[in-house]
Chain A
Amino acid sequence: KAGVTQTPRYLIKTRGQQVTLSCSPISGHRSVSWYQQTPGQGLQFLFEYFSETQRNKGNFPGRFSGRQFSNSRSEMNVSTLELGDSALYLCASSVVLASDTQYFGPGTRLTVL
């Protein structure tokens, strides 16, 4: 069974731009969660989607948004990029609940210049 895939793997943007990241969960998994990881803050939870609905949300500004499609694939969008948004963005999928065992993708490395 294929693992969680994320595209693109690397991205360079400039301040003020917006970016869309994509995540394809493991087949049969319906929960998709997004995380931001930085050296200073570690892993931080962004949001979780289940059946196309946002089920849980972390403490990030509204510039961070996401959505999930009927095939469970998910996208996250960051608008008006800031230098501090440079990070590794990880997607994780689980069968039903994010509190179940999660399987992470390799991440998208975003650099904001």
Chain B
Amino acid sequence: KNQVEQSPQSLIILEGKNCTLQCNYTVSPFSNLRWYKQDTGRGPVSLTIMTFSENTKSNGRYTATLDADTKQSSLHITASQLSDSASYICVVSAVKNSGYALNFGKGTSLLVTP
């Protein structure tokens, strides 16, 4: 079972609307959690990176939250634009003896329509 589960798998919203993407994880011990945006045909771009002590971080219209107790994170997109259409990937880093381990969600595919 994947240690990082994202929901929904896909989402369609109207331009201008808000939306929230979810990321639940079982990874332990936790190091940090990142959200990436990946446009079709391009490499992922980092949106936010959060450590254990951070529970909110914003990047423009993107706001990520982290609840380390419940092991849940969300990415909220405000006033969506057509350019927000992309795949959003949650990555959780865990500490291990030899350094770290990266655990990837399979992403949420977002389509913003006019």
Contact = CB atoms under 8 A, between A and B. Distances in A.
Interface of A: 4, 41-45, 55-56, 58, 90, 92, 98-107
Interface of B: 31-32, 41-46, 49, 89, 91, 93, 98-102, 104-107
Where chain B touches its partner, the secondary structure class is strand
B89 A42 contact: yes
A73 B89 CA distance: 26
Contacts, number: 44
A106 B99 contact: no
B104 A43 contact: yes
A102 B57 CA distance: 17
Contact of A106 (B43, B93, B100): B43
5 contacts: A42-B107, A56-B99, A99-B31, A99-B93, A106-B42
Contact of B44 (A44, A56, A98, A104): A104
B112 to A, nearest CB: 21
Contacts of A43: 44, 89, 91, 104
Contacts of B106: 41-42
A65 to B, nearest CB: 18
A41 to B, nearest CB: 8
B98 A56 contact: yes
A101 B49 contact: yes
